[in-house]
Chains A and B, each alone.
Chain A
């Protein structure tokens, strides 16, 4: 691989890299302009979300939207939904999405499709990687035309559970299309990068849920974002849940209406069904924008035309069960990460299905008000959900475009990526206004990749004087309070003081509370001025050695100290 890749790089004097998001249903391409702004590229048809479909009619190759419309007339010569087949064996695939187009079949150790490529003669057998190569070549050509020079490298997004075999198959297929794959990055991480790379974004420590609601599958990922570094905590996948299920709801709805009028079921004939599916999808999209949408199909079945309407309310009612599955999948992922819904700071909805306003609102109602739901229906600053991943890929492409291939490989090696993460939060013990309660405030949160360094400013008591700074470890606890009576604590995983176990199903308020679990270091700052402020900086290295510095702002000197790493390091380096 390396010598071929080197050849590609040396032939073209300069590398020109783009971001590619390659999905089962749609693909997108994006380029980062010299001023650092990612732009999603529209192809010749003007599409930014290009259907991952290739079709052959009378010896011509059609791609994208043009190929998609061929499903009705030339279903057997149209190849669609092939991304997940790459690098897989025939017996392990689910061919359901291809039911209406060319069927996948076993071909040696891989999967192929048989299509009439030329005008006459024998049908040709295209392996899935050949189809992918052709698809990527079309994408590359569209990008090259837009950029104005030959695109020869890319960062491609893949699902988190893409196997090594799938990666190398995709790498090979891309090479066939003249694209050097600089790096594969995970789709949900690309989404977080796309948001974090916006000029107005502030890098903070947060827990992000990325819900990628696609056409034929949905993936939810929980990511700890700490100081701009991302760690995947849990993932949940559903290979049957996606926009196609919502299409089916509309197909069934309109089909029933048609049956009532004409006593014919349009779902029984392949061609009628294909027409209905194509239009139902368009109607669904229209319902994300307007509250009413129409559907009209000429000669749907038996030569009968069909025109009908549906409003958003009706559609939301019909598909409430599917919507519920989306929120269940999100809950499942959060649970898998051993977190609570309260812990989540941000939710990024991406994938075409996230355009549905009702889904965004259901997700919002699932989480507390403080959680930011990034979807067009709930946030005015949201990025177009179908563009999020590809933008992230384009940003990463621009970051590593100049790197040597060997540098990229070294940087992505487990030696570099696998690091120690804090198991417990480190923070400073503070007091609330009544001076009796101790409050823990995390400075370095759990799951922070090490080495890490954070600093914060804390006010001294009003009249100043000597101040104690106590660095502790803390654990997070979910407190369940009843609204009116005395506060009641319900222990989740830790031993806590107040515990009166009355099981009341009254209205409860659940909130996060921090408990000090273990003090690490104490130090004093003497003679702090009234209204003074103290800056504390904690830095933890990979071996869990802690360095603490504290000084009064505007004051002289300061206190410095180091805490030894734990003696028995079982899990650490």
Chain B
């Protein structure tokens, strides 16, 4: 095989590679669009009136996840299954965003942290690497960290909207999350950087709870809640 033949063959490989990347980029763009739509929808909960129809908003968001599933389905067909990590960078960001959105919906519905398996199910992908297009653990954790900052914001806004009990529940949740993350030995990478931001979210929520408790508002909230029950 002559040198030039070898390089012609290699060039073919590289071009094929570029075509795959191009295809992936197209699908990822569509995914980003859907993710933005879901985010806009869920942003509604931060406004005063939004607190009443959280279930309705979640319902709508879940419908949008149907689109996400079909888009991810088409993404799967764009490259060989065993080369997931070769092209990982292309969808990493959007996948983290989608994990956050799914986690947010699940939190609003049940006030629980979504498990990795459930996120994978919502997105129509696998939780395990062995079974195909999957959700990388670091992407899942990144999405969960985004949820934490969103909840810090939600705590502030729920006080403004007159819902004094929600910050207390968020606080418990975030604290548990914080202890969870403290179990991990993170390397000095992007996930670690994101994790370093978690303490500010914890702090923010604690301040909200503090403000409520020195004014006796948290007792009122728990009493009212107890009364409702």
Do the two chains belong together in a single complex?
no
